[in-house]
Amino acid sequence: YLSLNPKYTFDNLIVGNNNKVAFQACLAVTENLGKIYNPLFIYGDVGLGKTHLLHGTAYHVLAKNSTAKIIYTTADTFASELFSYLEKGMILEFRKKYREVDLLLIDDIQFLVGKERTQIEFYHIFNVLYSLGKQIILSSDQPPSKLNGIEKRLISRFSSGLIVEITKPDLETKINITLKKMKELNVEFSRDVVLFIAKTVNTSVRELEGSIKRLKAYSEIMGRPITLDVARTVLKDVLEVNEVQPLTVERIQKEVCNYFNIDIKELLGNSRNKKSVTARQIAMYLSKELTDESLSSIARYFHKKDHTTILNAANKIKEMMEKDRKLKYTVDLIKDKLITL
């Protein structure tokens, strides 16, 4: 019952800055099923290659051992399957099916949110497989800690192995993916068009692929190669969506909250715990450095009356970054995310 997309192999996967760790983790897992990173939890936004990576992993395991028992499914399909087995009074068969595998891959585990019956069943399957030393790989659009609506005990299981993120590809990776997809689709673009596509599409690899397909269709219809001007016209809507949005204080606040895994209330509140204080000061520093807002306007975004609060926080961070390498690294990381988004 293994249905995989034949295109989603490791050979067709470009490994870049954004998915290197996730890819290496999957590769390591295939060498040591159930023995090292169990479960392996991969998360990232839509269209960044989670499904491709999961299918590729399944293929890779099969290539080494053609008799390995593998199930790949999505949490959604898992849930509907459970209910059809329940309706037929065949819950034992359902359990047997899932408890016999060597490798269980469940894609889009966020679809377990709110499905209590399914969560209970999955919890037991998880425990059985885990205690038998069978490998579990999960994907999600959120890290475990953000999966509200999934039982605590499941979240803690999800977090007990290795958690890796797939992020957006950088320019070099996007160029490599574009070249790979061109080969797959059997289409040629000039270098400036390739660079234009890679620079323009910033949302996801899926959209990158879609753009290449559109340009290919145009070139076929017109019967000649795509020029840069034509590419600009064809991808006009993509260009608009991806137009660099001005960096706002709100976006900085959101990104900092994401990084520290705290919510905006905590960032804007008065909590004195170390994490919130650092997060708050970094957000203030970045707002001062990266936006054109005045100090008093930034202060309003942080619900502070006095603009000197911003100035003091910014100076403090600046000073600390000179001594504290870890802090500098953190700030640079957040800055990178803000600037390349």
The β-bridge partners of 24 are none
The site partner of 118 among Mg ion, ligand ADP, none (C-beta below 5 to 8 Å per kind) is: none
Q: Which of 18, 19, 30, 51 contacts Mg ion by CB under 5 A?
A: 51
**Piece of 30-38, 45-53, 153-161, 328-336 that binds Mg ion (CB under 5 A):** 45-53
Rounded to a whole number of angstroms, the minimum distance from the CB of residue 74 to ligand ADP is 10
For residue 137, give Cα distances in angstroms to 27, 69, 95, 279: 12, 14, 18, 32
33 makes contact, choosing from ligand ADP, Mg ion, none, with CB < 5 to 8 Å by partner type, with none
Among ligand ADP, Mg ion, none, what does residue 300 contact (CB within 5–8 Å per kind)? Answer: none
**Span interacting with Mg ion, options 47-55, 221-229, 239-247, 261-269, rule CB under 5 A:** 47-55
- Rounded Cα distance between 200 and 241, Å, is 10
| Cross-strand pairs, 106 | 73, 138
| C-alpha–C-alpha distance, residues 139 and 154, integer Å | 14
Closest to Mg ion by CB, 48 or 267? 48
Contact between 211 and Mg ion per CB under 5 A: no
Residue nearest to ligand ADP (CB): 49
DSSP for 117-154 reads: HHHHHHHHHHHHHHHTT-EEEEEESS-GGG-TTS-HHH
User: In the bound complex, what is the minimum distance in angstroms from residue 218's beta carbon to ligand ADP?
Assistant: 20
Classify residue 274 as exposed, middle or buried by CB count within 10 Å of its CB (0-12, 13-18, 19+).
exposed
What single-letter DSSP state applies at residue 182? H
CB of 221 to ligand ADP, least distance (A): 23
Q: What angle do CA 157, 73, 20 make, to 5 degrees?
A: 70
Which range in 50-58, 83-91, 152-160, 289-297 contacts Mg ion by CB under 5 A?
A: 50-58
209 binds, among ligand ADP, Mg ion, none (CB under 5 to 8 A by kind): ligand ADP
Q: Are 133 and 34 in contact (CB under 8 A)?
A: yes
Nearer to ligand ADP, 52 or 280 (CB): 52
Residues found near Mg ion in the complex (CB under 5 A): 50-51
